[in-house]
Amino acid sequence: MLKTLKITAEHVVDGKYVGPDVSDFEGHIEIAAELGWVKFEGRISLRGNLIAEAGSGIKAGSGIKAGLGIKAGLGIEAGCGIEAGLGIKAGWGIKAGLGIEAGWGIEAGLGIKAGSGIKAGSGIKAGWGIEAGWGIEAGLSITAKFLSVQFRIFSGIIIHRLPSEAEMAITAEIRSGTIAHGVLKSFGSTVANSSHAAVAQSVEDRP
């Protein structure tokens, strides 16, 4: 059984974490509620779940890597990449200097922003926009106010069977980037329907 490090107010001074080393932690980390943003100087790496309760957020100077899931009542920010074996969920936004990758889904109450790529084993959902320096790849659908990427967007990447139209849905305004695989929808109405084939449509190509 994995041990649990519980971070409370005594481990935080002026918003900065001053507790035990978490750069290679063999267990779960739980951050108590209502601590605001908790800033970690270096990286956070752990085998289990990283959870910040309601009113608490996670900010790492370097990367964040969890063997299981990552969840925060406020936001999640990392100077480098964010990686979770399971899902990533934030009540506010998710921001990484490099990439964001989750074995399951990625969900943010506000926006999602990555310096490089964003990849999820299932769906990606944001209350505001999703921005990536490279591209976006989702095993299921993508939902946001807008998408802005430099290269390509993939949704509904299922290899063991043909995905349904709902599983391929991209419900967002495409501000930049090319849809390489997916069905573009405009909040309720289908704009481009590919059935089970790929849609390759750049912003510049659309009227």
Question: Mean pLDDT for each consecutive 10-residue tract of the chain (207 residues)?
Answer: 96 98 98 98 98 98 98 98 98 98 98 98 98 98 98 97 97 97 74 39 41
Q: What is the pLDDT of residue 207?
A: 41
Give the CA count within 13 Å in the CB-facing half-sphere of 204.
Answer: 4
Q: What pTM was estimated for this model as a whole? A: 0.91
Residue 34 carries which side chain, given as an amino acid letter? E
The contacts of residue 87 (CB under 8 Å, 6+ apart) are 69, 70, 71, 102, 103, 104, 105, 106, 107, 122
- Contact status, residue 45 vs residue 23, Cβ threshold 8 Å: yes
- Contact status, residue 166 vs residue 152, Cβ threshold 8 Å: no
Q: What is the pLDDT of residue 187?
A: 55
